[in-house]
A and B are shown apart, each in its own frame.
Chain A
C-alpha cells in the first residue's frame, strides 16, 4: 500500500491506522494521527481503514515555547 506519511512516500503493508502505527513501531506512544487533513482519534484507530494514496501526518509533542 502506497501512503504518504509525514511528507514521505512509503510502501507499507498496513490496511488500518492501528496496524500502521504498529508497523512503524509507534504503537502505545503518544502520537496523533491526521488522515487526509482530519484527526483520527485514538479510539477509532482500529476501525479506520487506509487506502492507496492516503496522506497521513503522525505527530507528537516536542520541546517548544
Chain B
C-alpha cells in the first residue's frame, strides 16, 4: 500500500513527467473503498518502508544546481580560478559599461592588452582606473603580435606592469602569435616557439591556438599551462564550428586512455557569438570559455554577460550530469502498458 502511495505521489513530484506513472488500478480501487479511519491511518501512520531506497532518495536534499562548491575547481598554472568564464575588457562603449558587464559575467579572470602609453593625452581616462585589480586576476594578452619575438617582448612588459600592480596574474600570459590581420588565425610555428621561450622564462602560458588536435598536444608538451583552441575566428561570432575537433582535443589532452590528464585545463577561446555557443563548449567537456566580443558588442552587453554566465553553468552541469546517447529512433517516455488505443503494427 505504501508503495502504491509513493507511486501515486509521483503525480505531483517536481521533475517527473506527470504522465509517467505506472500505478496499480487494483490498489487504487482498494483505497477508494477504505473507511475514513483506515485511510487516515495509512496517510499519517508509520509506513513500513523506512529502509526503502526510494524513500531515502527522496529524503536527500535536492542539491543546489548552482553550488560550485560541488564542482572540482579549475586550476590553471597552479592557481584556482573561481569562475570558468574568462572575459575580455576590450570593445566596450565605455569603461562604466565594461565594469557592469564584468560584474554580470561573474568572471574572476579578465584579459587585457598591452599597448603604448599615449604621449600626448597622458591625462586621459585609463582602463586601470575602472578595473579593480584587487578583485580580478589580470591575464595580459599578446594580441597584435605576429612573431614569437614580439610576443615574448609583450609578455615580459605585461608581467612588469602586473608586478607593479601586485596582481596575481603577473606570471600569466594569454599567448597569441597571429598570422595576419584579416584572419587573425594563429601562426602555429611562432606560437610553439614563443611557448617554449616563455615557459623557460617562468611564465604560465595560456596558449591560443587553432582547433588542430596535433598542434594542441605539441603546445601541451612544450609546457603550456593551458591550451585554448578557437571555436572559430576571433570576433567572428560563428561559435564552435568544428565540435568534433574540439572533442578530439579534449580526449587527447584530458583522457588518460589517450595519454591525457583529466586535470589539464583546456579552455575554448574565441568565436563565441551567443550564449548557446558557451554551453556547447562546456557540454563537450571544455574546462572554461574565454570570450570578449560576444558580450562587448551585443546590443545589451550587460544582459548578454548574464546570459553567458548562465550558459556556462548550464553547459558545465550538463557535462557533469552526463547526457543521454543520441539514438536514431524514438523511445517513448509514457508506458505502453495500459494504452487503450489501437497501436499500428500490433
Contact = CB atoms under 8 A, between A and B. Distances in A.
Interface magnitude class on chain A: 20 to 34
Contact of B115 (A5, A7, A62): A62
A10 to B, nearest CB: 8
Contacts of B158: 32, 61
A48 B290 CA distance: 39
Given A26-B117, A32-B157, A60-B114, 20 more contacts: A32-B160, A41-B163, A42-B160, A58-B117, A59-B115, A59-B157, A61-B113, A61-B114, A61-B115, A61-B127, A61-B140, A62-B127, A63-B91, A63-B113, A63-B127, A64-B90, A64-B143, A65-B91, A65-B235, A65-B292
Interface residues of B, number: 39
Contact of A57 (B92, B127, B157, B290): B157
Contacts, number: 106
B32 interface: no
A31 B117 CA distance: 8
Interface string A20-35: 0000111001111110
A47 interface: no
Interface of A: 5-8, 10, 24-26, 29-34, 37, 39, 41-42, 57-65
Nearest to B295: A65
A64 B113 contact: yes
B114 A65 contact: no
A65 B141 contact: yes
